[in-house]
A and B are shown apart, each in its own frame.
Chain A
Amino acid sequence: MTAAASPELDERVDEQLDGRAVRAWQTVVWNDPVNLMSYVVYVFRTHFGYSREKATTLMLHVHEDGQAVVAEGAREQMELHARAMHDYGLWATVRKVGG
């Protein structure tokens, strides 16, 4: 068996490249003195479909570290998430990974 120049491999490489590109942006939720911890967990569960455990862990990151990355992907998608967070009254921003 040979892998050289097989279309499947090319596709896989393309996917990997795309994968890097589409994960290049992040939605970040910032701590604020107003929003309730229980509500932030509710928002993360409701909007992202995260488990209670994952939503709670993210909420604690926001609370203790001042911020948490709640999603990574294409810029447009991250903007939709930020907009949804604003809809719920959370303070969210969009940034480039490593930027």
Chain B
Amino acid sequence: MTPGAVLLDLTRAEAVHLSMLVRDFLVVLDGSPADDPAVARLVPPAYPDDEAASADFRSLTEADLLAGRRADAETVIDALGPVDAAMLDSQAAHEVVPLAVDAAQLPAWLRTLTALRLVLASRIGITDEDAQPVDDPRYGIYEWLASRLDQLVETATGRD
């Protein structure tokens, strides 16, 4: 384990599902902010009361921000390893395999888990902190991502 690495506890099944989710996210990123509110949330207006200034800011930052999301997502996909969907039906699916996230990769992980939650929140319609659409299966994923994100942040920063 690299110095400064933090361990993320994932079952093999969780790793596969997370990898597939991040791959789906890459497809979402191919959409346009103008057509998809979830992508728009990743590149919010910097000047809510000034459309021209917001447009200028957007023209300077949007492509880089979305490219950054793609690069972060690729980092996470690489770290999770190949997707073995057949394994999901096996006993091994429930085994926890701690994944070492080193200090250099940590920001990409945190930003990706956050971006996934922002996209899911947009899709499920989470507009305030009390929203708990428990009947929506995506809400379970949203909450699961929160717990893993929190675990990573706490483990990485709890020691300083």
Docked complex Cα distance between A82 and B54 (Å): 12
Contacts of A35 in B (CB 8 A): 114, 117
Q: Are A33 and B42 in contact (CB under 8 A)?
A: no
Whole-angstrom distance between the Cβ of A63 and the nearest chain B Cβ = 9
Of listed A52, A79, A86, residue having the most chain B CB within 10 A: A86
Interface size, B (range): 20 to 34
Binds B, one of A3-11, A13-21, A89-97: A89-97
Whole-angstrom distance between the Cβ of A59 and the nearest chain B Cβ = 12
| Nearest opposing residue in chain A for B115, CB measure | A89
Which of these, A34, A38, A89, contacts B126 with CB under 8 Å?
A: A34
Docked complex Cα distance between A78 and B43 (Å): 16
Interface of B, helix, strand, loop or mixed by DSSP: helix
Q: Are B154 and A38 in contact (CB under 8 A)?
A: yes
Of listed B47, B115, B126, residue having the most chain A CB within 10 A: B47
* Contacts known (A39-B114, A42-B110, A89-B111); A33 close to B128, Cβ less than 8 A: yes
Show the binding face of B for A, using Cβ within 8 Å. Answer: 41-48, 57, 61, 64-65, 68, 107, 110-111, 114-115, 117-118, 121, 126-129, 131, 146, 149-150, 153-154, 156-157
Q: Which 10 A-B pairs have the closest CB atoms?
A: A89-B114, A33-B129, A34-B121, A38-B153, A83-B61, A82-B46, A42-B153, A94-B46, A33-B128, A91-B44
Show the binding face of A for B, using Cβ within 8 Å. Answer: 33-36, 38-39, 41-42, 45-46, 52, 79, 82-83, 86-89, 91-95
